[in-house]
Structure 1
Amino acid sequence: MRSGPERYQLRSSSTTDHSTIFGMHGIPEESDAAESEALLDDLSNISGEDKQSHRRKLIRRLGLSFFLFGLINNGIILFCNIAPSLVAKLGWPYVLKGRIRYSRRILGCCLLSVGGMIVVAFYDIIFMRLLGICFASFSSGLGELTFLQLSTTFHPPSVGGRSVSYFASGTGAAGLVGASIWWLVRGLGVRTGVGVSSVLPVVLPLTYRLLMPRPSAFASTSFPSEEQDSADTVPYVPLPTDDDTGIEDGLISKVALGLSPSDKWQLVKPLLPKYMLPLFVVYLLEYTINQGVAPTLIYPVPSRNKYWLLSHIIHSVRDYYPLWQLVYQATVFLSRSSISFGLPPLPARLLPLPAILQAAVLMILTLESALGIFDHKSQGLSFTFVFLLISIEGICGGLAYVNVFYRINQEQHEHPTSRDPERAKQEREFRIGSIGFSDSTGILLASLVSMPTQVELCRAQVARGKTLCKSL
């Protein structure tokens, strides 16, 4: 949607529609308003029991769609540089304005990700491989931003909240599924393995086009009373589809104004202490643990006589770090899935709690690495202690992510700043997109402090006679 003063335009007959963009089917997509009317007519002719079944089917499709968005978007990158992702999260919501065209953006993310992975797979030159990683990283950051913004287009608020919770669950599963995929294809070599994996991003536009129900499907379906919009919520008015240019089938329609930099600053100011700071702190501490402390949490290889179970897991000192990462990824998945599993979200006043607990975990694990809380004869106790702390780390990180984005999704429905439907829509999309860079900034800063942290912890271990870290 072009910015500037409001104007009227006429769409030409040569404008590209959804089916032309994706090339998947030849049936042109109707506007959300037309879909709403058609679905209302259909629902009025079926029984109450069939309506309940229809609602459950819509929720299942929505849940699966956003789970796949989170899974594929974050799981396809086996390794990446965080900077391009940070650029995408920082640049897109703050620089661009006007209506988001989700079909085009998702297709762009897919092409960037596929292109990046193909470059990594088929070029041996280090510059080209780094370029491919940057493409994939940028695609992942932009994709995460896009799918979180997409969740704000669903009404009533509880449906948007479910979208966020399923997306968070998918991103949590990405670490486990990504590692499993690499385990399966690693025997093919890097070039073939990454090349085969490059087909995965195609799932994103296919899911958006073929599986995910349109927002109008929920607007035309009644939900239980606890899922109705509150009295101060902007009533949902179906808007033109995300890819049209403001003109429908030769009819004249308005092109809405985009948010100005001043508008965006007024929207983002209250989000800084409430949402951005807790998310930034959690990720700074979390990735400092993962990259700076966890690699030094190593112990002698356990003997079979004394530690039968542990000896079957740890065969060399190099096995400790992958184990800690597995524990971390598993607990991140479980905690990011907490709301989609039916657990209640954290109250808004407790959003800083994961950051506080994460700080405690970092301090205790640093103490364990540098000084050793238990003596060298209590290896099993040390292992159990670290296992529990890494689990708490993953739980805190996952809870912070899903609850911050869930709360802002719900808050912007409950307390709109504009009564104009189009402007309210753009405000919701901007607010949830504006906080996405805080976790990436925390990760980037953690990468800068992790290396000296790891070096100093290793020196502290050597000073007390524990030299295992020097063998890595």
Structure 2
Amino acid sequence: MERRKVNWRPQSDSDWEGEDGEEEPFPLVPPLQASHWRNTAGFWLLGLCNNFAYVVMLSAAHDILRGQEAQNKTTGLEVFTASVSESSSSPPPTSSPPPSSNTSRYDCNALSTAAILLADILPTLLIKFTAPFFLHLVPYNYRVLLCFLTAAGSFLIVSYSTTITISLLGVVFASISSGLGEISFLSLTAYYHRDVVAGWSSGTGGAGIFGALSYLWLTWAGLSPQHTLLVMLVIPVILLCSYFLLLIQPPSVPRWKWHTPAWSTFGAASDRRPLMDHDDCSQNTSVGSYSLTFFEKICIIPGLLKYMLPLSVVYFAEYFINQGLFELLYFKNTALTHALQYRWYQMLYQAGVFISRSSVKCLSIKKIWMLALLQCVNMVFLLFAVYYMFIPSIYIVMALIVYEGLLGGAAYVNTFNNISQESKDEHREFAMSAACVADTLGISLSGAAAIPVHNYFCSLP
């Protein structure tokens, strides 16, 4: 029998049927071929590079702002500078201690670390809420170039900034790069074998460890924060090389042409269990076209909520812990200073995230709500631990923080793996981009909630 010629399209695990009813294999990149591993490695590097600036920028901005504090003492801005610079998510590697409360039972910063978190996450939230409805009009190559420019710009702006406003502008650039990159690269996975979702998730987990460690090592080696950021300009370059040189681009990917492509109808893909089963919506969905209308996109979203809502809860709980409670979990009976304890908390959290985001091939979880419940229990326990101070050892807290990271990373990778597996082919690109707003929404809400909680604890005598 003569085989039909099949064009490239977003890849599926389903088989095609020949003209005589004989099953015909779909032209996927087979999992054992070198091209498969090349694409998986490419998405791993894209995940690493995309989140790298976001991870580094909080610590780097803190150090830069501390230097500006000294410059601004004669300009009348010293009070504002001190409050902003002390709100970084990780203590500086310098010997200068942060200001603390003289009356509170806690060793408090002047402002919660959630303040800088909000500056670093709100632009991403805006992008993720709006972009899924228009970003498909922009070819992927232009999106990647914009991610490169904003990531490189964030390092340069913060490195050479002389005022607080310019430094915060650099943080915003890092947020734009991360948000635009996540929504673009998750959408791009629709054109590849589903295994690349695991590669992407593992890479984003690796960004936490490698970003924090590289900044810490370079500054401990004697480089100034400014020079450290300039060295990290290699990361946006690696992102470009991963996308343009490492990935094998299917011809169906809209790369340079400013139009929405349409693909031919394909058969067995419609047999996959969809995320949503609303008849009124499915009747308006064109199975043979990837050019979804606004109404069709709205119809897809309800089917995603069973994964998006639990993911938002998981990220709300874990970032409430990270930005609202970490700095208050201080043990005075150890050899570690408050600054070093905080750094260890962040490092152990990132280690847990990396492990679980790399685990989907070994353990797949469908019930994301269970992870949300466990993370909320973790948050409530640590909240009581901060108030009553009943945990006797820092090592118990460290174990709980690793556990927290494992829950968060597992929720992320399994959410997008489940959506990728269950989405119909014509829905998958939009579904992957729309669902990524869930974690950002949870992070934003946690940042807003952590500030008054921090202020309350620090006001206790």
State the aligned residue count.
Answer: 348
Residues 247 and 60 of structure 1: CA distance in aligned 2, closer, same or farther (over 3 Å): closer
Out of 87, 96, 101, the position equivalent to 2:126 is 87
Once residues 94 and 246 of structure 1 are traced to their aligned partners in structure 2, the CA distance between those partners, rounded to angstroms, is 14
Q: CA deviation at 1:444?
A: 1.0
TM-score relative to the length of structure 1:
0.68
Out of 293, 304, 307, the position equivalent to 1:275 is 307
Q: CA deviation at 1:394?
A: 0.6
Residues 188 and 58 of structure 1: CA distance in aligned 2, closer, same or farther (over 3 Å): same
Report the counterpart of residue 44 of structure 1 in structure 2.
Answer: none
Report the counterpart of residue 165 of structure 1 in structure 2.
Answer: 198
Report the counterpart of residue 355 of structure 1 in structure 2.
Answer: 372
2:388 paired with 1:371: yes
Report the counterpart of residue 329 of structure 1 in structure 2.
Answer: 350
Q: Counterparts in 2 of 1:307-318, with a 5 A limit? A: 311=335, 314=336, 316-318=337-339
The residue matched to 2:57 in structure 1 has which SS? coil
State the structure with more CA Rg.
1
Once residues 377 and 163 of structure 2 are traced to their aligned partners in structure 1, the CA distance between those partners, rounded to angstroms, is 43
Structure 1 runs not aligned, ≥5 long: 1-30, 37-51, 217-238, 249-255, 303-310, 417-423, 463-472
Residues 246 and 386 of structure 1: CA distance in aligned 2, closer, same or farther (over 3 Å): closer
1:72-112 CA distances to partner (integer Å, 9 max, x unpaired)? 110123125111111221121124444x5212211111012
Higher mean alpha-carbon deviation, 261-270 vs 183-192, is at 183-192
Q: CA deviation at 1:245?
A: 5.0
The residue matched to 1:269 in structure 2 has which SS? helix
Contact 1:283 1:397 in 2 (8 A): yes
Residues 384 and 119 of structure 1: CA distance in aligned 2, closer, same or farther (over 3 Å): closer
AA matched with 2:237: V
Across the aligned residues of Structure 1 and Structure 2, the Cα RMSD in angstroms comes to 2.7
1:99-140 CA distances to partner (integer Å, 9 max, x unpaired)? x52122111110121122211111212222222221121011
Q: CA deviation at 1:172?
A: 0.6
2:150 paired with 1:117: no
Q: CA deviation at 1:147?
A: 0.9
Report the counterpart of residue 363 of structure 2 in structure 1.
Answer: 344
1:395-451 CA distances to partner (integer Å, 9 max, x unpaired)? 1100000000111011114xx5xxxxxxx2xx3211111111121111111111112
Higher mean alpha-carbon deviation, 194-203 vs 430-439, is at 194-203
Contact 1:295 1:454 in 2 (8 A): no
Once residues 346 and 163 of structure 2 are traced to their aligned partners in structure 1, the CA distance between those partners, rounded to angstroms, is 30
AA matched with 1:265: I
Q: CA deviation at 1:246?
A: 6.2
Identity of aligned residues (%): 33
Q: CA deviation at 1:284?
A: 0.6
1:268-305 CA distances to partner (integer Å, 9 max, x unpaired)? 12212x11101110111110000111211111233xxx
Contact 1:351 1:403 in 2 (8 A): yes
1:315-374 CA distances to partner (integer Å, 9 max, x unpaired)? x233222111111110011011112xx313112xx1111110001101111111111335
Residues 177 and 247 of structure 1: CA distance in aligned 2, closer, same or farther (over 3 Å): closer
AA matched with 1:451: I
Once residues 117 and 412 of structure 1 are traced to their aligned partners in structure 2, the CA distance between those partners, rounded to angstroms, is 37
1:225-279 CA distances to partner (integer Å, 9 max, x unpaired)? xxxxxxxxxxxxxx3653235699xxxxxxx78433212111112212x111011
Report the counterpart of residue 139 of structure 2 in structure 1.
Answer: 101
2:225 paired with 1:190: yes
Q: CA deviation at 1:459?
A: 4.8
Contact 1:149 1:433 in 2 (8 A): yes
Structure 2 runs not aligned, ≥5 long: 1-5, 12-28, 59-119, 262-288
Contact 1:301 1:317 in 2 (8 A): no
Report the counterpart of residue 11 of structure 1 in structure 2.
Answer: none
Report the counterpart of residue 181 of structure 1 in structure 2.
Answer: 214
AA matched with 1:79: M
2:423 paired with 1:412: yes
Residues 259 and 400 of structure 1: CA distance in aligned 2, closer, same or farther (over 3 Å): same
Residues 101 and 247 of structure 1: CA distance in aligned 2, closer, same or farther (over 3 Å): closer
Contact 1:333 1:398 in 2 (8 A): yes
1:129-177 CA distances to partner (integer Å, 9 max, x unpaired)? 22222112101100011111111111xxxx22x1111111111111111
2:184 paired with 1:146: yes
Out of 281, 294, 301, the position equivalent to 1:261 is 294
2:246 paired with 1:211: yes
Once residues 379 and 167 of structure 2 are traced to their aligned partners in structure 1, the CA distance between those partners, rounded to angstroms, is 34
The residue matched to 2:248 in structure 1 has which SS? coil
Q: CA deviation at 1:188?
A: 2.3
